[in-house]
Amino acid sequence: MKVLPAAPSIPRPPGPKSQFPLLGVFPRFRKDPPNFLLQMARQHGDLVHLRLANQHAYIVSHPDAIRDVLVTHQSNFRKSRILERARVLLGEGLLTSEGEFHTRQRRLVQPAFHRDRLIRYADDMVNCAVRAREQLQPGEQDVWHAMTHLTLAIVGRTLFSADISSDANQIGGALTEIFSLFDTLLMPFSEWLMKLPLPAMRKFERARDQLDRVVYGLIADRRASREDKGDLLSMLLLAQDTDGEGGGDGSGMSDKQVRDEALTLLLAGHETTANALSWCWYLLGQNPDAEARFHAEIDTVLAGKTPAFDDVPRLPFTTGVFAESLRLYPPAWAVGRKALADYKIGDYVLPAGSIVLTSPFVVHRDPRWFPEPEKFDPERWHEVEAEQRPKFSYFPFGGGTRVCIGERFAWAEGVLVLATLAQKWRFRSVPDHPVVAQAVITLRPKYGIKMNAQLR
């Protein structure tokens, strides 16, 4: 009998050797995902192969290749596992939906983030920040806790015309419970674990029910009032699917669809910005020269008046502070995609079904694009210098058709909140308090960020 030669194996990019037969490098990955990805990219280059349990994954770190995955060839990819699993919380919202349904939902939500709306939202952002500024007391504060409450108040007021500050502790506690299951959501067979009557699963369901009570309460109140307040919630309830050129089917959203989008934007709209602002205060407290320039710009440009939307472009250094926070501590620390068909990068072919990981945390620390990458330097965002970098050397909001729909909202909120609070306060680190980034769904400070609030 003639023995046929074995089929040649597909060469894979360099990467770490698997230490565990069944789990690959998953145990190392889950200990500290962002820094593990960073270490692998620095050791093995712009394309790295990992085996995460039964899944082959590839870290893609060159801006040109990232552009191709997220934009040029985005039709060959779908969302990653973590977003697939996030459906148990967010349903079919913008973060989790795919294909034509995602396109339809984005078309219905997009008007809520047009420039004329942002101008209106800016007044609410500043009013909420002024109230937080006046309520703040000198002494030790957890700035992460404070920013979480503030951004929740802002998203409640701007997008839902509601004061949900009384629900802040409930929402924050529910999110912490849900985020603590991040590892479980990533594990193989997690979809089966979620169906078992385990204590962790019951905690998750209770936390989800708490969030649903808040969101469905907002929906019920608005339906009962039948009032069009011109905010996101009214737009969701009144929306009809049309693109203005005869496209769309003219249908609206069910209550479940409104819930999915409202919950997605409620959580995404405050969690990510709260994290970014918290890291801003921490970084400013560590860098007194940058803080002095930040205060000088605010004092000179605003001259004591409350900031407004038109002041944002007049505050370039403050914008640079926010940009540097997003560079060093991007809330969305990784963007995952699943290849629908074989995909070629350089000399390698990534088989269909592979997971492609693009990490802002990794790319933002690449010295090719950011010299002295660990240094906090708001001057990096001088317009000329920023334009010389490859586009996807900096992508804290993702890219392509799935780019964060609230990106412009977040930029305006970040700059206006920083300027408003810094008119009265500065923050100094509390000695011996550990400040550690924890990669759950977002990049949170694991133990909060305790700082001393001082009147300027």
From 245-254, 322-331, 338-347, 435-444, the region with the lowest mean pLDDT: 245-254
pLDDT score, position 18: 85
Residue 351 has pLDDT above 80, yes or no: yes
Neighbour count for residue 334 (Cβ, 10 Å): 19
- Cα angle vertex 324, ends 310, 268, to 5°? 75
pLDDT score, position 441: 83
> Quick one: average pLDDT of 37-46?
98
Most confident segment among 148-152, 173-177, 189-193: 148-152
pLDDT score, position 5: 45
pLDDT score, position 190: 62
Which stretch of DSSP H or E encloses residue 59?
strand 55-60
Sequence-distant (≥ 6) Cβ neighbours of residue 232 within 8 angstroms: 109, 112, 158, 159, 160, 262, 265
> Quick one: average pLDDT of 61-66?
98
pLDDT score, position 426: 96
pLDDT score, position 174: 84
Q: Put residue 434 in one of left, alpha, beta given phi > 0 → left and psi -120 to 50 → alpha.
A: beta
DSSP reduced 3-state for 430:
coil
The residues pairing with 142 across neighbouring beta strands, listed in sequence order, are 450
Sequence-distant (≥ 6) Cβ neighbours of residue 64 within 8 angstroms: 390, 392
8 A C-beta contact, residue 361 and residue 336: no
8 A C-beta contact, residue 445 and residue 337: no
The residues pairing with 423 across neighbouring beta strands, listed in sequence order, are none
Token readout for 23 is: 């789990």
d(CA 61, CA 42): 10
> Quick one: average pLDDT of 292-297?
98
Reported as a pLDDT band with limits 50, 70 and 90, residue 19 is confident
pLDDT score, position 246: 43
Distinct helix (H) and strand (E) counts, the chain: 19, 12
Sequence-distant (≥ 6) Cβ neighbours of residue 13 within 8 angstroms: 44, 45, 47, 48, 49, 58, 348
Looking at every residue in the chain, the average pLDDT score rounds to: 89
d(CA 347, CA 277): 41
Q: Which of the two residues, 163 and 277, has the higher pLDDT score?
A: 277
pLDDT score, position 7: 41
* DSSP letter assigned to residue 49: E
d(CA 54, CA 187): 10
Q: Quick one: CA torsion of 145, 148, 149, 152, rounded to 10 degrees?
A: -170
pLDDT score, position 184: 67
Sequence-distant (≥ 6) Cβ neighbours of residue 223 within 8 angstroms: 237
pLDDT score, position 244: 44
Predicted TM-score (pTM) of the model is: 0.91
DSSP reduced 3-state for 65:
helix
DSSP reduced 3-state for 139:
strand
Residue 3 has pLDDT above 50, yes or no: no
Residue 242 has pLDDT above 60, yes or no: no
Residue-range domains of the chain with CATH: 26-455 (1.10.630.10)
Residue 386 has pLDDT above 90, yes or no: no
d(CA 402, CA 106): 9
The residues pairing with 326 across neighbouring beta strands, listed in sequence order, are none
Q: Which of the two residues, 357 and 248, has the higher pLDDT score?
A: 357
